[in-house]
Structure 1
Amino acid sequence: SFLSIRISLIALLLPVLAIACSQNNNQVPANSPNSGNTNSIILFIGDGMGSEQRKAALWYSAGLNGTLNMDTLSYAGNAKTASIGGALTDSAAAGTAMSTGTKTSNGFIAMGSSQNTLQTILEIAQLQGKSTGLITTTQIPHATPATFAAHISDRKKMIEIASQIIDKNIDVLFGGGESYFIPNTEIGNYPAIGKRTDSRNLINEAVSSGYTYVYDRDSFLALDTESKLKVIGIFSDEGMTRPFSPTLEEMTQAAINILEKNPKGFFLMVEGGQIDWAGHANEALNNMQDTLDFDAAVNIGINYQSKNSNTLLIVTADHGTGGMSASLTSTGASDEDGPYNMPDNTPFYINWSTKGHSAVDVPVNASGPSSELLTGTFENTFIFDVMKLQLRQ
């Protein structure tokens, strides 16, 4: 009858309406368009880069009315960063929240607080046949990159993390940390004695399994990124030394050139890792310069995404560092840095309230598929939810 047809239609529509209603308040839609398995993700993480770090870098480079590259993405929101057990997260817990969608305790790398292993977005991408890459200005086995490719309950165990990363078969690895890849019976290129006590030389193992190894600017620039490559580039014994060479911008461009050869798409994480280190040291100039170096790398991602609409581009931070604040007026405080000049010579000052992390929400900017979900304020785990949606898991 007509009545039973209407009842059937209403029953059919109810799930659709429920999905539509759930899409606000930062819910991932249960059944989204844009299917297909060629999607890519580029995730930029400015370690320790809260909104004040961005403001200071903007003033220093472009003045009050300027714009950073990362400000030009289509959508903007803010992520809450608290970890399990306290408001102040570290990079391990915040990285894990973004890489796995699960909150954990500080110090834990892609493990839950009960030491259960958590699948990462990089691992999901690999299961789909996508290429993967990790780039950092710190050590490759440092906390943030580690949360995408290793599983361990202590971020300090960087020797074990290096083993797990090498065993993960990631297509592009760029950063520092040579000492964690070579045995303590060998001297590296930088030159420092290795830290490994298991006699493994992970660089030699990587080369034996088909990786191209580069270790300085010249060998990096000689890479033939037009051919199919797996590359490991280690440019320092610990974190890379300033000024970074190759630059984060150059490493990002080379990685994209290599990874985009895969017709199934790719996942790439790029970390501006020493923004955080400058924050801990309360070094305003290094903090601003590292943020601008990071922003130049973001521009490479923007250019790629503008030509590849099935790429999701996200720029965010794991937490703020230093309790930094940029101000047009001097407080006269003993720990104040400045004055620094904007391009039009307007002076400004940098103040610090801590040598540690700060519990501020961090900015999130995004373009590409599902980026419209990253508006308002949400938990940092939601970044994983949106990336997973992009991979259609």
Structure 2
Amino acid sequence: MRPISGSNSNSLKCRLAGSVLCLLGLIPASVVAGAEDAPAAVKNVILMISDGCGYNTWDAASMYQGRWDAGAGKSTQIYDGPGWVKYACSTYPLNTSVAPTGSGVQDKNVIYDPVKAWDRQKGYAWLSETYTDSAAAATALSTGTKTYNNAINWSDQKQPLQPTMSEAAKAAGKSTGVVTSVQWSHATPAGLSNAHNADRDNYVEIANAMLSGGAMDVIMGCGNPDYDNNGVPVKKSKEYKYVGGPKTWKAIEAARATAGGTYQGFRPVSTKAEFEALASGPAPRRVVGTAQAATTLQQARRAAKTEEPGADTPRNANVPSLTTMVRGALNVLDDNPKGLFLLVEGGAVDWAAHSNHARRMIQEQVDFVAAVEAVAAWVEANSSWNETLLVVTSDHETGLIWGPQSDKIPFQPIVDQGPNRIPEMRFNSKTHSNSLLPVYAQGARSSLLSRLVTGDDPVRGPYVDNTGVARLLRHAAGGVPLEAGGSRSSP
């Protein structure tokens, strides 16, 4: 038996003392339980989201990488290893409206239902009609509250939902950041930041809120108006909305061109070399990084004419990888002795799935997995699993991906073709679905996911809800009591 040391020893002593006092009738049992539910905050809380990535997308990338155990029928990725906790996760929204309805009442038809989901005649249709979008999903993961599609931390009753995950972490004294492979004002990074907006498409408002709200220390992604999707400079028809409009962008670039210059307290970076320099050594206190690509790091570049392996166009050479951005973000944020909250999004997995582009989808997921490995390596080299919680999941499934004949054989498994070959699969949709997703957790408080189970699926097993994941994150980051089970509707 390992000796108990450090904070674990102190925690045990407190619980034992509380139990004795409870037995003596000097304090109520509820106080002892509350003390266990609200221990000191976890130092580092990291959430990684592969946007649009359902079970079969995770598996397809693992098969392509040769990280697939055919005998066991499961992947052998880092998050399948010892120490990781795994559950399924439901993601349904409050309703499928794209604007506030004013009611705040949960639409019962969209609540995940295993019977409806796995119906061999009507399952695909129900899953395709009741899904969340990335904005509502990010809001649920950030605030623990369900809302309508399109909302960025905004309620169905037209009120801001507070605090967001970044706002809560900042209130706990932590440094905060969001990193994505798509535009940094896009739905997922916006939802996990300090932004509040009734419409995810209000990019100018959202970008400026992220920059000026005081809650963010690192903002990284794409959306650079000076470059196209191939990393080629553009002179006309520039799109400034993702970076706060032309005035904001010109101020950001002016600060970047000045030695030690800042905009709203952020040191701007843009070139690949600037991102790489952030990954080690002394770092600025706050950074806004806009890679030299219009919408995505890689996914939206010129497409190849064939899906065959090795036939794709060369990758953009002037942008950092998602892994490089993550390493830079961690190097900036980890100077805070009170810790950090970081959101990392592989945002273009979803974009490729919307296009039913299997090869690009797998490429993006492989890049995301590399970022997960980089975060785990950072934890082991610079922190520890005793003081860090890492949660890896998705926001929704995109594409209704199943086997090659799944239009005729519902829910047919995808078929492994070996390393470096695209598995046999079929896209049954070009949009999202209400399918369950995997959620993986490692480190401090990860075992508490078991207390947030809301149902048992006949195929995926026990599942939590995305609002439950939010409660775990909030509990870890701020030391607030963990609420067990259920989901909250928009107030």
Q: Shorter-normalised TM-score: what interval?
A: 0.7 to 0.9
> Are the counterparts in 2 of residues 38 and 263 from structure 1 also a CA contact under 8 Å?
no
Pair 1:310 & 2:400 matched? no
| Count of residue pairs the alignment pairs up | 365
Give the alignment partner of residue 351 of structure 1, picking from 426, 446, 455: 426
Pair 1:389 & 2:471 matched? no
Deviation of residue 208 (structure 1)? 3.6
Deviation of residue 240 (structure 1)? 2.7
Give the alignment partner of residue 183 of structure 2, picking from 139, 157, 163: 139
Give the alignment partner of residue 195 of structure 1, picking from 240, 261, 279: 240
Matches within 5 A, 1:150-299: 150-169=195-214, 170-179=216-225, 191=235, 193-195=238-240, 200-202=247-249, 204-205=251-252, 207-223=262-278, 225-229=280-284, 230-235=286-291, 236-242=293-299, 243=315, 245-299=319-373
Q: 1:193 to 1:54 in 2, by over 3 A?
A: same
Deviation of residue 350 (structure 1)? 1.2
Deviation of residue 361 (structure 1)? 1.0
Letter in 1 for 2:473: M
Which residue of structure 1 aligns with residue 77 of structure 2?
68
Letter in 2 for 1:240: L
Pair 1:89 & 2:132 matched? yes
Q: Deviations over 1:215-241 (max 9, x none)?
A: 121222233742241211111222333
Q: 1:15 to 1:147 in 2, by over 3 A?
A: same
- The two structures have a TM-score, normalised by structure 1, of 0.84
Which residue of structure 2 aligns with residue 41 of structure 1?
45
> Are the counterparts in 2 of residues 48 and 279 from structure 1 also a CA contact under 8 Å?
yes
The alignment partner of 2:60 has SS state of helix
Q: Deviations over 1:112-143 (max 9, x none)?
A: 11121111010111122211111011111100
Matches within 5 A, 1:7-26: 9=24, 12=27, 14-15=29-30, 19=33
Distance 1:83 1:374 in 2: 20
Q: Deviations over 1:223-275 (max 9, x none)?
A: 37422412111112223334463111111111111111110100000000001
Letter in 2 for 1:314: V
Task: Please say which of residues 219-228 and 90-99 is displaced more in the overlay.
Answer: 219-228
Q: Deviations over 1:137-165 (max 9, x none)?
A: 11111001111221001011111111111
> Are the counterparts in 1 of residues 283 and 331 from structure 2 also a CA contact under 8 Å?
no
Q: 1:203 to 1:144 in 2, by over 3 A?
A: farther
Letter in 2 for 1:354: S
Distance 1:103 1:112 in 2: 8
Deviation of residue 193 (structure 1)? 1.8
Q: Which runs of 5+ in 1 are unaligned?
A: 20-29, 181-187
Distance 2:349 2:470 in 1: 23
Distance 1:248 1:7 in 2: 51
The alignment partner of 2:289 has SS state of strand
Deviation of residue 342 (structure 1)? 1.2
Q: 1:228 to 1:12 in 2, by over 3 A?
A: same
Task: Please say which of residues 213-222 and 383-392 is displaced more in the overlay.
Answer: 213-222
> Are the counterparts in 1 of residues 141 and 466 from structure 2 also a CA contact under 8 Å?
yes
Distance 1:332 1:323 in 2: 10
Q: Deviations over 1:346-389 (max 9, x none)?
A: x8301111101011111100011211122431110011111111
Distance 2:366 2:207 in 1: 28
Q: 1:283 to 1:34 in 2, by over 3 A?
A: same
Q: Which runs of 5+ in 2 are unaligned?
A: 1-19, 70-74, 96-109, 111-129, 227-231, 256-261, 300-314, 451-461, 481-491
Q: 1:6 to 1:253 in 2, by over 3 A?
A: closer
- The two structures have a TM-score, normalised by structure 2, of 0.68
Q: 1:195 to 1:343 in 2, by over 3 A?
A: closer
Deviation of residue 43 (structure 1)? 0.4
Letter in 2 for 1:154: D
The alignment partner of 1:52 has SS state of helix
Distance 2:364 2:22 in 1: 61
Letter in 2 for 1:320: E
* % identity of equivalent residues: 32
Letter in 2 for 1:47: D
The alignment partner of 2:268 has SS state of strand
Q: Deviations over 1:53-104 (max 9, x none)?
A: 0111111111531512232352011111110114310000000000001000
> Are the counterparts in 2 of residues 137 and 240 from structure 1 also a CA contact under 8 Å?
yes
| CA RMSD in angstroms, aligned pairs only | 3.0
